[in-house]
């Protein structure tokens, strides 16, 4: 494991909140995705009906990063029964709505499109147990903090929040 993975994964598995700071390319995505996948697999194996329930939300600043995270989920969960959806603007929301209706374990989303889904009642975040805010520095620089603050109340109080960033400043 890289340094960020070695430090963050054990803390995440204990369901503690995290602020992880590491340079780009050091494995931050792996550091937050592996504990998410571990929790989902444990939960599904303990359920008799193996029901798919939204358990994790990853907030990202751009659709490109959303696609990257989805690809990483696909790589890490190649032999697992993990359902995921990327939610971002610039494409029709109908396909996203259909996946949400069919049930997903993980949502990777930009804040604007996620807020649209919340407004239209096409997503329910009350079962989310893990929230990741990836590229927190970019989220702040791009002015998405207010949207993040609008999203968080839709998530139950009993959740872990992890924030990952390449840089840190006083706002973070």
pLDDT score of 128: 97
Query: Quick one: pLDDT band at residue 171, thresholds 50, 70, 90?
Result: low
List C-alpha distances in Å: 156 to 38, 88, 125, 132.
20, 22, 8, 14
Confidence of residue 2 (pLDDT cuts 50, 70, 90): very high
Q: Which residues contact 120 (CB under 8 A, 6 or more apart)?
A: none
Question: Smallest Cα–Cα separation from 17: which of 168, 147, 167, 157?
Answer: 157
Choice between 48 and 88, residue whose per-residue pLDDT is larger: 88
- Whole-number CA gyration radius for the chain: 15
pLDDT at 50 over 70: no
**Average pLDDT for residues 77-98, to the nearest whole number?**
95
Q: Give the global pTM.
A: 0.95
Do the beta carbons of residue 164 and residue 136 sit within 8 Å? yes
Pairing mode, strands 106-110 and 56-60: parallel
Supply the pLDDT for residue 49.
59
Find, among 3, 11, 44, the residue nearest to 162 by Cα.
Answer: 11
């Amino acid at each position: 494991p890289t340094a960020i993975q070695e430090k963050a994964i054990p803390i995440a598995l204990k369901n503690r909140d995290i602020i992880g700071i590491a340079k780009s390319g050091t494995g931050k995505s792996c550091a937050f995705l592996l504990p998410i996948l571990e929790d989902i697999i444990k939960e599904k194996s303990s359920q008799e009906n193996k029901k798919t329930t939204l358990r994790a939300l990853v907030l990202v600043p751009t659709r490109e990063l959303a696609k990257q995270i989805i690809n990483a989920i696909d790589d890490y969960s190649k032999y697992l029964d993990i359902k995921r959806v990327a939610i971002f603007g610039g494409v029709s929301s109908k396909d996203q709505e259909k996946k949400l209706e069919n049930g997903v374990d993980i949502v990777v989303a930009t804040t604007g499109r996620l807020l649209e889904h919340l407004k239209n009642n096409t997503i329910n975040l009350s079962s989310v147990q893990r929230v990741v805010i990836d590229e927190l520095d970019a989220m702040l620089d791009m002015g998405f903090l207010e949207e993040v603050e609008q999203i968080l109340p839709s998530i139950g109080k009993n959740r872990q929040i992890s924030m990952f960033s390449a840089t840190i400043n006083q706002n973070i």
